[in-house]
Homo-oligomer: A and B are copies of this chain.
Amino acid sequence: MIKMTNFKMKTVKEGDVTSPLGFQAVGIHCGIKKKRKDLGLILSEGPAVSAAVYTTNAFQAAPLKVTQQSLAKGSTLRALVVNSGNANAFTGEQGMVDALMMRNAVADSFQLSPWEVAVTSTGVIGERLPIEKILAGIEQLPHLLGEDGASFSEAILTTDTFAKSLAVEIEIEGKTVTIGGTAKGSGMIHPNMATMLAFVTTDAKIHPDVLQRLLHHVTDQTFNMITVDGDTSTNDMVLVMANGFAGHTELTEAHPDWPVFVHGFHYVSEQLAKMIAQDGEGATKLIEVVVQGAATEEMAKVIAKKIVGSNLVKTAVFGADGNWGRVVMAIGNSGFYVDEKQLDITIGHTLVVQKGIVMNYEEEAVTQSFKENKVKILVDLNQGEQSATAWGCDLTYDYVKINASYRT
Protein backbone atom coordinates (compact mmCIF):
# COMPACT_ATOMS: atom_id res chain seq x y z
CA MET A 1 0.00 0.00 0.00
CA ILE A 2 1.16 3.47 -0.89
CA LYS A 3 1.62 5.60 2.21
CA MET A 4 -0.72 8.56 2.37
CA THR A 5 1.90 11.00 3.61
CA ASN A 6 4.61 13.20 2.11
CA PHE A 7 2.64 14.11 -0.98
CA LYS A 8 1.26 17.55 -1.66
CA MET A 9 -2.44 17.19 -2.22
CA LYS A 10 -5.33 19.60 -1.86
CA THR A 11 -8.98 18.71 -1.47
CA VAL A 12 -11.20 20.72 -3.86
CA LYS A 13 -14.05 22.43 -2.04
CA GLU A 14 -17.33 20.75 -3.10
CA GLY A 15 -15.34 18.84 -5.69
CA ASP A 16 -16.89 16.24 -7.94
CA VAL A 17 -16.49 14.53 -11.33
CA THR A 18 -16.59 17.89 -13.12
CA SER A 19 -13.70 19.34 -11.11
CA PRO A 20 -11.04 18.09 -13.56
CA LEU A 21 -10.68 20.17 -16.76
CA GLY A 22 -12.88 19.21 -19.70
CA PHE A 23 -15.57 17.23 -17.89
CA GLN A 24 -19.25 18.07 -17.76
CA ALA A 25 -22.05 16.17 -16.05
CA VAL A 26 -25.73 16.34 -15.24
CA GLY A 27 -28.42 14.31 -13.52
CA ILE A 28 -32.16 14.50 -14.22
CA HIS A 29 -35.46 12.80 -13.45
CA CYS A 30 -36.72 10.83 -16.44
CA GLY A 31 -39.47 8.84 -14.74
CA ILE A 32 -38.01 5.47 -13.69
CA LYS A 33 -38.31 6.48 -10.05
CA LYS A 34 -41.35 8.30 -8.76
CA LYS A 35 -39.72 11.63 -7.99
CA ARG A 36 -35.97 11.47 -7.50
CA LYS A 37 -33.30 11.88 -10.17
CA ASP A 38 -32.69 8.67 -12.10
CA LEU A 39 -30.62 9.47 -15.22
CA GLY A 40 -27.12 10.90 -15.36
CA LEU A 41 -24.35 11.59 -17.84
CA ILE A 42 -20.66 12.44 -17.69
CA LEU A 43 -19.12 13.90 -20.86
CA SER A 44 -15.48 14.55 -21.59
CA GLU A 45 -14.81 17.35 -24.08
CA GLY A 46 -12.10 15.21 -25.67
CA PRO A 47 -11.33 11.48 -25.84
CA ALA A 48 -10.59 10.11 -22.39
CA VAL A 49 -8.38 7.09 -21.84
CA SER A 50 -10.60 4.82 -19.78
CA ALA A 51 -10.47 1.66 -17.70
CA ALA A 52 -13.07 -0.31 -15.77
CA VAL A 53 -13.50 -3.22 -13.39
CA TYR A 54 -16.73 -5.20 -13.13
CA THR A 55 -18.69 -7.38 -10.73
CA THR A 56 -17.62 -10.99 -10.17
CA ASN A 57 -21.30 -12.03 -10.09
CA ALA A 58 -21.84 -14.65 -12.82
CA PHE A 59 -24.94 -12.84 -14.04
CA GLN A 60 -23.33 -9.61 -15.22
CA ALA A 61 -26.02 -7.15 -16.16
CA ALA A 62 -26.50 -6.16 -19.81
CA PRO A 63 -25.10 -2.59 -19.49
CA LEU A 64 -21.81 -3.95 -18.17
CA LYS A 65 -21.51 -6.16 -21.23
CA VAL A 66 -22.19 -3.16 -23.47
CA THR A 67 -19.56 -1.09 -21.64
CA GLN A 68 -17.06 -3.90 -22.07
CA GLN A 69 -17.82 -3.93 -25.79
CA SER A 70 -17.18 -0.19 -25.97
CA LEU A 71 -13.87 -0.43 -24.14
CA ALA A 72 -12.83 -3.45 -26.21
CA LYS A 73 -13.08 -1.32 -29.37
CA GLY A 74 -10.54 1.14 -28.05
CA SER A 75 -9.55 2.37 -24.67
CA THR A 76 -11.05 5.83 -24.94
CA LEU A 77 -14.51 7.03 -23.99
CA ARG A 78 -16.27 10.36 -24.33
CA ALA A 79 -19.39 9.69 -22.31
CA LEU A 80 -20.88 7.59 -19.56
CA VAL A 81 -24.64 7.25 -19.13
CA VAL A 82 -26.22 5.75 -16.04
CA ASN A 83 -29.75 5.16 -14.83
CA SER A 84 -30.94 4.24 -11.36
CA GLY A 85 -34.17 2.52 -10.29
CA ASN A 86 -33.74 -0.48 -12.58
CA ALA A 87 -30.61 -2.63 -12.92
CA ASN A 88 -31.36 -4.04 -16.37
CA ALA A 89 -30.00 -7.29 -14.95
CA PHE A 90 -31.30 -10.79 -15.71
CA THR A 91 -33.28 -9.31 -18.57
CA GLY A 92 -31.98 -11.58 -21.33
CA GLU A 93 -31.75 -10.50 -24.97
CA GLN A 94 -34.17 -7.65 -24.37
CA GLY A 95 -31.83 -6.28 -21.75
CA MET A 96 -28.97 -6.20 -24.25
CA VAL A 97 -31.19 -4.48 -26.83
CA ASP A 98 -32.21 -1.87 -24.26
CA ALA A 99 -28.64 -1.22 -23.10
CA LEU A 100 -27.51 -0.83 -26.71
CA MET A 101 -30.39 1.58 -27.35
CA MET A 102 -29.22 3.67 -24.39
CA ARG A 103 -25.72 3.72 -25.79
CA ASN A 104 -26.85 4.65 -29.31
CA ALA A 105 -29.16 7.37 -28.06
CA VAL A 106 -26.28 9.03 -26.19
CA ALA A 107 -24.02 8.67 -29.23
CA ASP A 108 -26.69 10.33 -31.41
CA SER A 109 -27.38 13.13 -28.97
CA PHE A 110 -23.72 14.09 -28.67
CA GLN A 111 -22.42 13.14 -32.13
CA LEU A 112 -20.19 10.38 -30.79
CA SER A 113 -19.34 6.91 -31.96
CA PRO A 114 -21.28 4.30 -29.94
CA TRP A 115 -17.90 2.86 -28.85
CA GLU A 116 -17.16 6.13 -27.07
CA VAL A 117 -20.09 5.62 -24.71
CA ALA A 118 -20.20 3.52 -21.51
CA VAL A 119 -23.53 2.44 -20.05
CA THR A 120 -24.51 1.35 -16.58
CA SER A 121 -27.64 0.80 -14.51
CA THR A 122 -28.55 0.17 -10.87
CA GLY A 123 -31.80 -0.82 -9.17
CA VAL A 124 -34.20 -3.76 -9.21
CA ILE A 125 -33.04 -6.98 -10.87
CA GLY A 126 -35.20 -8.87 -13.37
CA GLU A 127 -37.51 -6.14 -14.66
CA ARG A 128 -37.32 -4.61 -18.12
CA LEU A 129 -35.99 -1.06 -18.39
CA PRO A 130 -38.66 1.58 -19.08
CA ILE A 131 -36.67 2.36 -22.21
CA GLU A 132 -39.03 4.98 -23.67
CA LYS A 133 -38.67 7.14 -20.59
CA ILE A 134 -34.91 6.76 -20.67
CA LEU A 135 -34.63 7.64 -24.36
CA ALA A 136 -36.81 10.71 -23.84
CA GLY A 137 -34.57 11.65 -20.93
CA ILE A 138 -31.39 11.23 -22.97
CA GLU A 139 -32.78 13.64 -25.61
CA GLN A 140 -32.94 16.35 -22.98
CA LEU A 141 -29.38 15.88 -21.73
CA PRO A 142 -27.54 18.07 -24.30
CA HIS A 143 -29.62 21.09 -23.25
CA LEU A 144 -29.03 20.57 -19.54
CA LEU A 145 -25.40 19.46 -19.44
CA GLY A 146 -22.99 21.63 -17.48
CA GLU A 147 -20.58 21.47 -14.58
CA ASP A 148 -23.26 19.84 -12.53
CA GLY A 149 -21.50 16.92 -10.88
CA ALA A 150 -23.79 17.37 -7.87
CA SER A 151 -26.95 16.47 -9.79
CA PHE A 152 -25.13 13.56 -11.44
CA SER A 153 -24.12 12.15 -8.08
CA GLU A 154 -27.78 12.34 -6.99
CA ALA A 155 -29.03 10.60 -10.13
CA ILE A 156 -27.04 7.42 -9.42
CA LEU A 157 -28.39 6.83 -5.90
CA THR A 158 -30.73 4.01 -4.86
CA THR A 159 -31.15 3.52 -1.10
CA ASP A 160 -28.15 5.75 -0.35
CA THR A 161 -28.91 8.49 2.17
CA PHE A 162 -26.33 10.97 0.87
CA ALA A 163 -24.54 11.76 -2.39
CA LYS A 164 -20.86 10.85 -2.43
CA SER A 165 -18.40 13.08 -4.26
CA LEU A 166 -14.97 14.57 -3.86
CA ALA A 167 -12.05 15.88 -5.85
CA VAL A 168 -8.39 16.48 -5.11
CA GLU A 169 -5.63 18.48 -6.80
CA ILE A 170 -2.11 17.18 -7.15
CA GLU A 171 0.91 18.45 -9.09
CA ILE A 172 2.51 16.65 -12.00
CA GLU A 173 5.45 18.30 -13.80
CA GLY A 174 4.49 21.45 -11.90
CA LYS A 175 1.03 21.45 -13.48
CA THR A 176 -2.19 21.10 -11.50
CA VAL A 177 -3.92 17.79 -12.10
CA THR A 178 -7.37 17.14 -10.68
CA ILE A 179 -8.97 13.81 -9.80
CA GLY A 180 -12.70 13.75 -9.11
CA GLY A 181 -14.99 10.93 -8.15
CA THR A 182 -18.50 9.96 -7.24
CA ALA A 183 -20.06 6.70 -6.07
CA LYS A 184 -23.25 5.04 -4.88
CA GLY A 185 -23.86 2.10 -2.48
CA SER A 186 -25.57 0.97 -0.39
CA GLY A 187 -26.93 -2.63 -0.32
CA MET A 188 -25.54 -5.77 -2.02
CA ILE A 189 -22.15 -4.43 -0.98
CA HIS A 190 -19.39 -6.98 -0.69
CA PRO A 191 -15.76 -7.48 -1.63
CA ASN A 192 -14.69 -8.43 -5.14
CA MET A 193 -16.08 -5.47 -6.90
CA ALA A 194 -18.19 -4.49 -3.94
CA THR A 195 -21.75 -3.81 -5.02
CA MET A 196 -21.66 -0.29 -6.17
CA LEU A 197 -20.96 2.12 -8.92
CA ALA A 198 -17.99 4.47 -8.78
CA PHE A 199 -16.83 6.90 -11.43
CA VAL A 200 -13.49 8.68 -11.34
CA THR A 201 -12.54 11.46 -13.72
CA THR A 202 -9.17 13.12 -14.16
CA ASP A 203 -7.48 15.55 -16.51
CA ALA A 204 -4.25 13.57 -16.18
CA LYS A 205 -2.73 12.05 -19.28
CA ILE A 206 -2.00 8.40 -18.82
CA HIS A 207 -1.26 5.30 -20.84
CA PRO A 208 -4.35 3.06 -21.03
CA ASP A 209 -2.63 -0.16 -19.88
CA VAL A 210 -1.10 1.70 -16.98
CA LEU A 211 -4.49 3.11 -16.02
CA GLN A 212 -6.09 -0.35 -16.10
CA ARG A 213 -3.34 -1.81 -13.91
CA LEU A 214 -3.62 1.06 -11.46
CA LEU A 215 -7.39 0.71 -11.28
CA HIS A 216 -7.13 -3.01 -10.51
CA HIS A 217 -4.50 -2.47 -7.87
CA VAL A 218 -6.25 0.38 -6.10
CA THR A 219 -9.71 -1.23 -6.32
CA ASP A 220 -8.34 -4.28 -4.53
CA GLN A 221 -7.24 -2.09 -1.62
CA THR A 222 -10.27 0.18 -1.48
CA PHE A 223 -13.58 -0.72 -3.16
CA ASN A 224 -12.94 -4.44 -2.74
CA MET A 225 -12.25 -3.95 0.97
CA ILE A 226 -15.74 -2.81 1.90
CA THR A 227 -18.76 -4.86 2.75
CA VAL A 228 -22.29 -4.00 3.81
CA ASP A 229 -24.15 -7.27 3.65
CA GLY A 230 -22.00 -9.88 1.97
CA ASP A 231 -24.04 -9.88 -1.23
CA THR A 232 -22.37 -9.01 -4.53
CA SER A 233 -24.56 -7.29 -7.08
CA THR A 234 -24.91 -8.07 -10.76
CA ASN A 235 -24.13 -4.47 -11.69
CA ASP A 236 -20.98 -3.36 -9.88
CA MET A 237 -18.60 -1.25 -11.85
CA VAL A 238 -15.77 1.19 -11.25
CA LEU A 239 -14.92 3.31 -14.27
CA VAL A 240 -12.15 5.86 -14.63
CA MET A 241 -11.82 8.41 -17.45
CA ALA A 242 -8.59 10.37 -18.00
CA ASN A 243 -8.77 13.04 -20.72
CA GLY A 244 -5.26 14.49 -20.49
CA PHE A 245 -6.43 18.13 -20.45
CA ALA A 246 -3.94 19.00 -17.71
CA GLY A 247 -1.25 19.09 -20.35
CA HIS A 248 1.63 17.12 -18.87
CA THR A 249 3.48 14.28 -20.61
CA GLU A 250 1.97 10.81 -20.48
CA LEU A 251 2.06 9.05 -17.13
CA THR A 252 3.49 5.56 -16.83
CA GLU A 253 4.95 3.76 -13.85
CA ALA A 254 8.35 5.20 -14.87
CA HIS A 255 7.26 8.84 -14.68
CA PRO A 256 8.94 10.66 -11.75
CA ASP A 257 5.58 11.97 -10.54
CA TRP A 258 3.85 8.57 -10.82
CA PRO A 259 3.70 8.07 -7.02
CA VAL A 260 1.94 11.40 -6.71
CA PHE A 261 -0.78 10.32 -9.10
CA VAL A 262 -1.14 6.92 -7.44
CA HIS A 263 -1.44 8.71 -4.11
CA GLY A 264 -4.23 10.98 -5.36
CA PHE A 265 -6.07 8.20 -7.15
CA HIS A 266 -5.83 5.92 -4.12
CA TYR A 267 -7.05 8.69 -1.85
CA VAL A 268 -10.14 9.44 -3.98
CA SER A 269 -10.97 5.72 -4.24
CA GLU A 270 -10.51 5.09 -0.53
CA GLN A 271 -12.63 8.08 0.44
CA LEU A 272 -15.44 6.95 -1.86
CA ALA A 273 -15.18 3.38 -0.55
CA LYS A 274 -15.41 4.58 3.04
CA MET A 275 -18.39 6.78 2.22
CA ILE A 276 -20.15 3.74 0.73
CA ALA A 277 -19.44 1.65 3.83
CA GLN A 278 -20.55 4.47 6.12
CA ASP A 279 -23.78 4.83 4.14
CA GLY A 280 -24.54 1.09 4.11
CA GLU A 281 -28.26 0.41 4.29
CA GLY A 282 -29.51 1.31 7.75
CA ALA A 283 -25.99 1.93 9.02
CA THR A 284 -25.34 4.19 11.99
CA LYS A 285 -21.58 3.61 12.24
CA LEU A 286 -18.53 3.07 10.06
CA ILE A 287 -16.46 0.06 11.15
CA GLU A 288 -12.76 0.03 10.26
CA VAL A 289 -10.87 -3.21 10.78
CA VAL A 290 -7.09 -3.26 10.50
CA VAL A 291 -5.37 -6.63 10.44
CA GLN A 292 -1.60 -6.56 10.78
CA GLY A 293 1.14 -9.07 11.44
CA ALA A 294 -0.21 -11.43 8.77
CA ALA A 295 1.98 -13.85 6.86
CA THR A 296 0.56 -12.68 3.52
CA GLU A 297 -1.44 -9.70 2.28
CA GLU A 298 -4.20 -12.11 1.16
CA MET A 299 -4.47 -13.48 4.68
CA ALA A 300 -4.70 -9.96 6.15
CA LYS A 301 -7.39 -9.02 3.61
CA VAL A 302 -9.51 -12.15 4.10
CA ILE A 303 -9.44 -11.88 7.89
CA ALA A 304 -10.21 -8.14 7.87
CA LYS A 305 -13.18 -8.76 5.57
CA LYS A 306 -14.40 -11.73 7.65
CA ILE A 307 -14.52 -9.56 10.76
CA VAL A 308 -16.14 -6.53 9.14
CA GLY A 309 -18.62 -8.77 7.31
CA SER A 310 -19.80 -10.85 10.28
CA ASN A 311 -23.47 -10.25 11.09
CA LEU A 312 -22.65 -10.94 14.72
CA VAL A 313 -19.83 -8.39 14.88
CA LYS A 314 -22.06 -5.89 13.05
CA THR A 315 -24.98 -6.33 15.46
CA ALA A 316 -22.64 -6.12 18.48
CA VAL A 317 -21.33 -2.79 17.16
CA PHE A 318 -24.89 -1.57 16.59
CA GLY A 319 -25.82 -2.46 20.16
CA ALA A 320 -22.52 -1.13 21.55
CA ASP A 321 -22.03 -4.54 23.15
CA GLY A 322 -18.26 -4.96 23.47
CA ASN A 323 -18.56 -8.66 22.68
CA TRP A 324 -15.07 -9.10 21.17
CA GLY A 325 -15.53 -12.91 21.33
CA ARG A 326 -17.32 -12.49 18.02
CA VAL A 327 -14.18 -10.93 16.54
CA VAL A 328 -12.32 -14.07 17.65
CA MET A 329 -15.02 -16.25 16.07
CA ALA A 330 -14.76 -14.35 12.79
CA ILE A 331 -10.96 -14.64 12.69
CA GLY A 332 -11.35 -18.37 13.28
CA ASN A 333 -13.62 -18.61 10.25
CA SER A 334 -11.12 -17.15 7.79
CA GLY A 335 -9.86 -20.51 6.63
CA PHE A 336 -6.29 -19.51 7.55
CA TYR A 337 -4.25 -20.98 10.37
CA VAL A 338 -4.08 -18.41 13.14
CA ASP A 339 -2.11 -19.03 16.32
CA GLU A 340 -4.45 -18.21 19.19
CA LYS A 341 -1.45 -17.65 21.47
CA GLN A 342 -0.07 -14.86 19.25
CA LEU A 343 -3.27 -12.89 18.85
CA ASP A 344 -3.67 -9.25 19.96
CA ILE A 345 -7.05 -7.52 19.69
CA THR A 346 -7.58 -3.81 20.30
CA ILE A 347 -11.06 -2.26 20.32
CA GLY A 348 -10.79 1.51 19.93
CA HIS A 349 -7.84 2.30 22.19
CA THR A 350 -8.38 -0.66 24.52
CA LEU A 351 -6.17 -3.73 24.27
CA VAL A 352 -8.57 -6.54 25.18
CA VAL A 353 -6.48 -9.56 24.18
CA GLN A 354 -2.69 -9.78 24.16
CA LYS A 355 -0.91 -12.91 22.96
CA GLY A 356 -4.16 -14.81 23.34
CA ILE A 357 -4.67 -13.77 26.97
CA VAL A 358 -7.72 -11.74 27.93
CA MET A 359 -6.58 -8.48 29.54
CA ASN A 360 -8.06 -6.98 32.65
CA TYR A 361 -9.56 -4.09 30.70
CA GLU A 362 -12.28 -1.54 31.39
CA GLU A 363 -15.51 -2.89 29.91
CA GLU A 364 -16.85 0.66 29.80
CA ALA A 365 -14.00 1.80 27.54
CA VAL A 366 -14.88 -0.88 24.98
CA THR A 367 -18.58 -0.03 25.15
CA GLN A 368 -17.66 3.61 24.61
CA SER A 369 -15.58 2.73 21.53
CA PHE A 370 -18.57 0.91 20.05
CA LYS A 371 -20.65 4.04 20.51
CA GLU A 372 -18.39 6.21 18.31
CA ASN A 373 -19.41 7.08 14.75
CA LYS A 374 -16.28 5.31 13.60
CA VAL A 375 -15.51 2.03 15.36
CA LYS A 376 -11.94 0.80 15.08
CA ILE A 377 -10.92 -2.81 15.54
CA LEU A 378 -7.22 -3.65 15.33
CA VAL A 379 -6.04 -7.24 15.13
CA ASP A 380 -2.38 -8.17 15.26
CA LEU A 381 -1.72 -11.78 14.29
CA ASN A 382 2.00 -11.46 15.11
CA GLN A 383 2.75 -13.99 12.39
CA GLY A 384 4.33 -11.77 9.74
CA GLU A 385 4.63 -8.30 8.23
CA GLN A 386 1.56 -7.92 6.03
CA SER A 387 -1.49 -5.79 6.77
CA ALA A 388 -4.85 -4.79 5.30
CA THR A 389 -7.76 -2.53 6.15
CA ALA A 390 -11.44 -3.25 5.54
CA TRP A 391 -14.47 -1.08 6.06
CA GLY A 392 -18.07 -1.90 6.82
CA CYS A 393 -21.00 -0.79 8.90
CA ASP A 394 -23.28 -1.99 11.66
CA LEU A 395 -26.36 -4.18 11.08
CA THR A 396 -29.45 -2.39 12.30
CA TYR A 397 -33.23 -2.51 12.46
CA ASP A 398 -33.23 -0.12 9.52
CA TYR A 399 -31.23 -2.53 7.35
CA VAL A 400 -34.00 -5.08 7.85
CA LYS A 401 -36.68 -2.48 7.32
CA ILE A 402 -35.16 -1.16 4.09
CA ASN A 403 -34.66 -4.62 2.64
CA ALA A 404 -37.92 -6.17 3.76
CA SER A 405 -39.73 -3.68 1.54
CA TYR A 406 -37.21 -2.56 -1.07
CA ARG A 407 -39.61 -2.57 -3.98
CA THR A 408 -42.58 -1.01 -2.24
Contact = CB atoms under 8 A, between A and B. Distances in A.
A33 to B, nearest CB: 17
Given A316-B406, A325-B124, A325-B125, A337 B58 contact: yes
Interface in A190-241: 229-234
Interface stretch (A104-112, A134-142, A391-399): A391-399
Contact of A397 (B319, B356, B400): B400
B316 A187 contact: no
A346 interface: no
Contacts of A397: 397, 400-401
Interface in A323-338: 323-326, 328-334, 336-338
A360 interface: no
B400 A395 contact: yes
B405 A319 contact: yes
Contacts of A365: none
Contacts of A324: 126
Nearest to A334: B58
A341 interface: yes
B92 A340 contact: yes
B404 A319 contact: yes
A408 interface: yes
B396 A329 contact: no
Contacts of A311: 229-231, 311, 399, 403
A399 to B, nearest CB: 7
Contacts of A396: 400
Given A124-B323, A321-B406, A397-B400, A332 B229 contact: no
A125 B89 contact: no
A387 interface: no
Interface string A67-103: 0000000000000000000010111100000000000
B329 A188 contact: yes
5 contacts: A59-B332, A90-B340, A92-B340, A234-B332, A397-B400
A193 to B, nearest CB: 11
B400 A325 contact: no
A232 B328 CA distance: 11
Interface of A: 56-59, 87, 89-92, 124-127, 187-188, 229-234, 310-312, 315-316, 318-319, 321, 323-326, 328-334, 336-338, 340-341, 353, 356-358, 395-397, 399-401, 403-408
A89 to B, nearest CB: 7
B406 A329 contact: no
Given A92-B357, A340-B90, A397-B397, A329 B403 contact: no
A126 B325 contact: yes
A125 B230 contact: no
A12 to B, nearest CB: 36
Contact of A58 (B315, B336, B405, B407): B336
Contact of A125 (B187, B328, B341, B408): B328
Contacts of A406: 316, 319, 321, 323
A234 B400 contact: no
B332 A400 contact: no
A315 B90 CA distance: 20
A66 to B, nearest CB: 16
Contacts of A92: 340-341, 356-358
Contact of A326 (B125, B358, B399): B125
A377 B92 CA distance: 21
Given A57-B332, A91-B358, A126-B324, 16 more contacts: A57-B329, A58-B332, A58-B337, A59-B332, A59-B340, A125-B325, A125-B328, A127-B358, A231-B311, A231-B330, A234-B332, A312-B403, A318-B400, A319-B403, A321-B407, A321-B408
